[in-house]
A and B are shown apart, each in its own frame.
Chain A
Amino acid sequence: MKTENEIMEIESLPLGKIISITCKGIKIRIWRSLIVVSGIVLAIAFLSYILCSDGFAQNVSKAAGSIVEQGSPEKIQELKDQRVQTYWMVGLAILISFVGIVNAMLMSVTERFREIGTMKCLGAIDSFVLKMFLIESVIEGVIGALLGVLAGILIAYVEGVFTYGSGVWSLLPLAWLLGVVAFSFVTGVIITVVAALYPAREASKMMPVVALRAEL
């Protein structure tokens, strides 16, 4: 009597609804969310700080280029070594961001396995669980990356004032600065979403009984 026809009428929730559920979830768990966001802020602040101060150093050496050209070969070699070192630092900064954010996202998903199991028992479909975590990660990623970029650049400039004096303000061309902002921001958001994707996918595919049994 209750046939498959009835079962075929499955509507997934509209995106707006999922977003509002997700936002409610973030608000309810505000402290947990803030910890995740602060992880992203730290990582991205570090990245944008490194990029910014590298920019200062590069432009200073460019401005002093004429002097350097007259300088000894040892001096030029030393500057080249410094460049290689900063590339390493940038690479390291991205790596640290990645590890930090992946860790934060993994935690925020795995600690909610039980909740996911319960929601699936109540009729949540897999894509709902997946979307919920992805939307959450986008929101946290955007906020975290934005704050991180601001903090990183602010710190770089404060330090710059001490190192280079008031001339620091004109040291970086605006295009360069915007490039740093865009690169750090996009990196932050992408890493966050990618980091959330794996655990969220695993969680959404779980049989509810497995999710409920998961002990952490």
Chain B
Amino acid sequence: MKQSPEKKETAEQAEASLSTNYVVRAIGVKKVYTMGAEKVHALRGVDFAVRRGEYISIMGPSGSGKSTLFNMIGGLDKPNEGQVYIDEVDIAALNPVELAWLRCHKVGYIFQTYNLITVATALDNVMLPMTFAGMQQADAQDKAIKILERVGLGERVLHKPLQMSGGQQQRVAIARALANSPSIILADEPTANLDKKTGLQIINLLKELNMTEGVSIITATHDHKMLDISDRIAWVRDGQIEKFQKRSELEIKEGEMHVQ
């Protein structure tokens, strides 16, 4: 039972790789952390690929290696073994400056704790990645205002994060992630600190951006609402990907899923 969807997936992947282009590919990724004398195998050889424009959720209990995988995909951490390609560039081959360029232009990050610069306004927060990209101040300001309007914060451009609700702060973070029109948005538990209703609004906003802007979205999550709108779900357990599931397969197994 468990084997069949996985096999189907790999066959599909092989077929697709001829035509589709992948924004992220991870091949045989291994990561070991040394904690004192103990070695923790966070990832034990993971293969993972995300198609352009795909919305994919990574699910798994805490300690499963979910966050580690997530960090690898985002170029926030380097694997001990295996390769990670972002837009067909092997991140292990990049020097720190090139890696920074990649993070700046290709990837937008959204965090569970928002990680906004709390002392700066929403506008300044959104403009920061544009400044790093070398954009002119006036252009950056225009673009940042447009993006903030896009995520529904047109009225709060000059507010500081601490004057906003959690949902609004996460919207600023989403706007900031979109700043340099990335190919991938990485969202690490984006709804974990939000109530149900606000969380749903954030999820819908992400889906909407995924549909309209064509940006690939990868989220690490515990939130079952997120599964509903994902194209695919990767289940991670003990440092390995247990299985991939498509949304259509998921709906049939919904009862089972909730037990899990």
Contact = CB atoms under 8 A, between A and B. Distances in A.
Contacts of B87: 1-2
Given A118-B117, A120-B103, A121-B109, A13 B134 contact: yes
A13 B132 CA distance: 7
A212 B112 CA distance: 12
A208 B97 CA distance: 13
A126 B100 contact: yes
> Lowest 3 CB-CB distances: which A-B pairs, in order?
A123-B104, A123-B132, A209-B76
A7 B86 CA distance: 12
A124 B101 CA distance: 8
Interface centre among B77, B101, B129, by most A CB within 10 Å?
B101
A123 B77 contact: no
Interface stretch (B88-96, B204-212, B250-258): B88-96
23 contacts: A1-B87, A2-B89, A2-B106, A3-B89, A7-B98, A10-B100, A10-B101, A21-B131, A24-B120, A29-B119, A119-B128, A120-B103, A121-B74, A121-B76, A122-B109, A122-B128, A123-B100, A123-B101, A123-B132, A125-B97, A207-B77, A209-B77, A212-B115
Interface size class of B (residues with CB under 8 A): 35 or more
A42 B54 CA distance: 58
B105 interface: yes
A5 to B, nearest CB: 11
Contact of B103 (A3, A8, A121): A121
A118 B115 contact: yes
B104 A209 contact: no
B216 interface: no
Interface string B128-169: 110111100000000000000000000000000000000000
A31 to B, nearest CB: 11
Interface string A193-216: 000000000000101110010000
Contacts of A12: 97
Interface residues of A, number: 33
Contacts of A209: 71, 76-77
Given A3-B89, A7-B98, A123-B129, 6 more contacts: A21-B131, A118-B111, A123-B132, A125-B100, A207-B76, A212-B115
Contacts, number: 87
Contact of B76 (A13, A119, A128, A208): A208
Interface in A1-49: 1-4, 7-8, 10-13, 17, 21, 24, 28-29
Interface of B: 21, 71, 74, 76-78, 87-89, 94, 96-98, 100-106, 109, 111, 115-117, 119-120, 128-129, 131-134, 176, 179-180
B180 A115 contact: no
A207 B176 CA distance: 20
Contacts of A124: 100, 132
A123 B89 contact: no
A9 to B, nearest CB: 8
A2 B100 contact: no
A24 B117 CA distance: 12
B210 to A, nearest CB: 20
Contacts of A115: 117
Given A119-B128, A207-B76, A208-B76, A10 B98 contact: yes
A122 B132 contact: yes
Nearest to B179: A122
A119 B115 CA distance: 10
Interface centre among B94, B129, B133, B134, by most A CB within 10 Å?
B134
B97 A28 contact: no
Nearest to B180: A123
Interface in A66-120: 114-115, 117-120
A111 B102 CA distance: 26
Nearest to B71: A209
Contacts of A118: 111, 115-117
Contact of A128 (B71, B132, B180): B132
B96 A126 contact: yes
B98 A13 contact: no
A2 B87 CA distance: 7
Interface centre among B74, B102, B132, B133, by most A CB within 10 Å?
B132
B76 A123 contact: no
A11 B100 CA distance: 11
